[in-house]
Amino acid sequence: MTSWQCVLIAWGDRYPVSEINRLVASIRAQSRGPARFVLLSDRPREGLDPAIELRPIPEWFLAPEFRGSGCQAKLCLFEPGVVPDDLPAIYLDLDTMVLGDLSRLLDIMETPQTVAILQSAILPFGAFARWLYRVTGQRRYARGNSSIVVYHPAHTAYIAARFRELASRPDARDFKPLRADERFISWAAQPVMRAVPLRLAVKFPTEYMQPWRWLVHLRASLPWIRRRRAGLIAVTFPGVRLKGEDLAALPEGATVVDRKGRRLFWTDRALGGLRRRIIEHYGRSPA
């Protein structure tokens, strides 16, 4: 079994230490081989689990413009010396729920240079996207979501270096890959990018939310989707305005609409066993 490290990031006060500790405890209880847990932070975190190694986010990445909706501060993941470079790393957003053995994500790494994130755009990572990236002079490229990142810190320092270089230019605002951390990761590492398979991890809004109730129920009833969902090891909640505790506290049958018009139907019919697992994970009694 390959040893690995789990990396988390927290700036500001949105996520309490208790939530960070709960995520780490969940990972430790279900996963094989984690040699360490690293939290990158802008401040001390009193009450942090002693098993978590607290490391500072470099001041340069904490500029106000990097802590907005683009979350470019997350690119400190690739800055030399920030994350130990002796082991491969699995980064998780703090609004991720772990359901199984995270070490299975390491199988995505075809080489130590591989960078894997969740697929988010229509153009998939792969040979065609790499070809398009080359022939368009790097203007077209497949993009992903960085709620989960599988990478090796010893082989990805070029991502942070390139970001520092380009973000410092006078015309930086005109360069689209700089608009968000996941855009930049996808662009800078396009030749080695891979998608985290949907059989292992999903974004909650994309997987479980649709504009129409009938479509949510249809997808939930399809045998191959039910089997895939039963095997998930992580579900992340980007863009969902409710945190895990809020979801768990919803009354059964509640409906939540996100900014894209997708609806969450808080029922077992729509979510299967995930609804109860969310309630159990966040320490509430089932509705």
Query: How many other β-carbons are positioned within 10 Å of the β-carbon of residue 287?
Result: 15
232-263 pLDDT tens trace: 999 998 765 667 788 888 999 999 888 888 99
Element (H, E) at 7: strand 4-10
Name the more confident of 172 and 221: 221
Q: For residue 109, what are the CA distances in angstroms to 88, 148, 183, 196?
A: 9, 14, 20, 10
Tell me what pLDDT residue 1 has.
59
Binned at pLDDT 50, 70 and 90, residue 120 comes out as: confident
Of the pLDDT bands very low, low, confident and very high (cuts 50, 70, 90), residue 286 is: very low
Triad 72, 186, 122: Cα angle to 5°: 120
Closest by CA to 151, choosing from 52, 2, 4, 25, is 4
Cβ atoms of 143 and 182 closer than 8 Å: yes
Fold of 4-196: Spore Coat Polysaccharide Biosynthesis Protein SpsA; Chain A (3.90.550)
What is the structure's pLDDT at 14?
Answer: 85
Burial 228-240 (b: 16+ CB within 10 A, else e): bbeebbbbbbbbb
pLDDT of residue 173: 81
Average model confidence (pLDDT) for the chain? 92
Q: Whole-structure pTM over 0.85, yes or no? A: yes
pLDDT digits (tens, 9 = 90+) for 72-84: 999 999 999 999 9
Highest mean pLDDT among 133-142, 146-155, 245-254, 276-285: 146-155
Q: What is the pLDDT of residue 174?
A: 83
pLDDT for 240: 59
Q: Where are the domains of the chain?
A: 4-196, 201-281
What is the rounded distance in angstroms from the CA atom of residue 242 to the CA atom of residue 223? 29
pLDDT at 135 over 60: yes
